Structure 1
Amino acid sequence: MIKTRLLKLISASAVFLCFSVYADAVSELQQMFAKHSSMSASFTQEVTKSNGDVVSSAEGTLAIQKPDSLMMHTVSPDEQVLFTKGKDVYFYDPFINQVTIFDKKDLYTSPFLLLTSNRSDIWNQYTVTKESGKYRLVPKKKADIKELSLKFNGEDICSISIRLMDGNINTYNLTSIKYTVANDAFSYTIPEDAQIDDERKSN
């Protein structure tokens, strides 16, 4: 009887400890993001296989502003633009002159859109832990993203790694970080003759 009670006590303590660590990690990470309402940076992107082989690399610029504003402009090796506009997300590929439009609410699994949001219902979609100085975010529901890993240099986020279900790892390293962003940083003019692929559910 005593042994059973002891096991129950240990189990309950373990659950409480895990919940406390989880709550502390979420709170700590949200506090890091809450210090600034906007951010811009240059990025280098590298996609690697699970064995470490490099699949592709790219570079560009990133701008974020709360709530829910994002501009991600890849300039090399090929230009691509991902940005928010109202309740929608636009992805423009100049090479094929096509813009794809998504509902923003369907793309909150994107780590960069997650960084622009203070909404608890968005953050509650992840289990957050802190390991070896990195924050690890695992979606509670099955998604294309298996986990996110965020690394900071002081108060600056310097690396975002996205592990996909196929085993590939997409890593963004950020440099030249600033915390003031001009409003026109989120504007991009899509050519009038661009093909439109409208993926919004309302259309």
Structure 2
Amino acid sequence: MAVKWLVSALLCLPLLVQAQDAAQLLQRKLATIKTFSASFEQQVFDAGQQLLQQGKGQLLIKQPALFRFETTEPEPNLFIGDGQTLWFYNEMLEQLTIYDAAAEVNRTPFVLLTSSKAELWAQYTVSRDAEQFVISANDPDSMVKQLILRFSGDALAQMQVVDINSQRSEFNFTTVQLNIALADSLFSFEPPSGTDIDDQRQR
């Protein structure tokens, strides 16, 4: 029995090493991106690969742990994180939901793009195919099952997010700018007067 276990372990070892190598390479690539600014076109597909929605917007990222995800089409929405707090603002409904970033990490794949925390990356398995990296959640209950990143040189060219219902959101980035100055004020949010606020941190 012990021999069978040892053989199985040895057979799995190359896969484990490959996953570790892929994760380390991906983290090194992401670490060189101190800031990232790009426009995007988004397509959302259901589990049967039927197109559900298309959109446009902008993604800003700044090390460490800052991101600003803004859609302009089909409707304006804003999703901001500063490492401590997440703000989701629906402009048309004038509604703001506030989350604790640490408690909602499995809902927020953008956090991985700016984090080098070992405890966070330990929650995922990374595989690589040339310039594409597939980040898979180890937790079967994670809201985000996979984050797929495709690079063009040093720049992030495409991102796909697959959720727990197998719905896939695909983002194609254009007008990419790397390592430009981005003000910290872009990564915080003050709600307009009259905004309906749901603060999930207090629950």
Report the TM-score when normalising by structure 2: 0.89
| Whole-angstrom CA distance in 1 between matches of 2:83 and 2:65 | 9
| Whole-angstrom CA distance in 2 between matches of 1:65 and 1:90 | 16
CA offset digits 1:1-31 (Å, max 9, x no partner): xxx96x6665343222111101100011001
Tell me what 1:137 maps to.
135
Cα distance change of structure 1 residues 100 and 121 upon mapping to structure 2, 3 Å threshold: same
Aligned: 1:125 with 2:123: yes
Contact 1:107 1:113 in 2 (8 A): no
CA offset digits 1:98-125 (Å, max 9, x no partner): 1100001123232212112111111111
Tell me what 1:168 maps to.
167
| Whole-angstrom CA distance in 2 between matches of 1:186 and 1:123 | 23
Tell me what 2:109 maps to.
111
Q: Which amino acid aligns with 2:182?
A: A
RMSD of Structure 2 on Structure 1 (CA)? 1.9
- Aligned pairs for 1:29-178 within 5 A: 29-85=26-82, 87-109=84-106, 110-131=108-129, 133-142=131-140, 143-178=142-177
Residue 85 of structure 1: how far off its partner (Å): 4.3
* Of 90-99 and 105-114, the range deviating more from structure 2: 105-114
DSSP-derived class of the 1:25 partner: helix
Q: Which amino acid aligns with 1:31?
A: R
Q: Which amino acid aligns with 1:21?
A: Q
List alignment gaps of at least 5 residues for structure 1. Answer: none
Tell me what 1:11 maps to.
8
Q: Which amino acid aligns with 1:118?
A: S
Report the TM-score when normalising by structure 1: 0.89
**Alignment: residue pair count:** 198
Contact 1:62 1:72 in 2 (8 A): yes
List alignment gaps of at least 5 residues for structure 2. Answer: none
Percentage identity across paired residues of the two chains: 26
Q: Which amino acid aligns with 1:44?
A: E
| Whole-angstrom CA distance in 2 between matches of 1:41 and 1:57 | 17
DSSP-derived class of the 2:22 partner: helix
Residue 95 of structure 1: how far off its partner (Å): 0.7
CA offset digits 1:38-90 (Å, max 9, x no partner): 11111111101232211011111111111111111111121001112462111
Point out the structure with max Rg over C-alpha: 1
DSSP-derived class of the 2:116 partner: coil
Tell me what 2:200 maps to.
199
| Whole-angstrom CA distance in 1 between matches of 2:194 and 2:161 | 34
| Whole-angstrom CA distance in 2 between matches of 1:102 and 1:134 | 30
Cα distance change of structure 1 residues 39 and 163 upon mapping to structure 2, 3 Å threshold: same
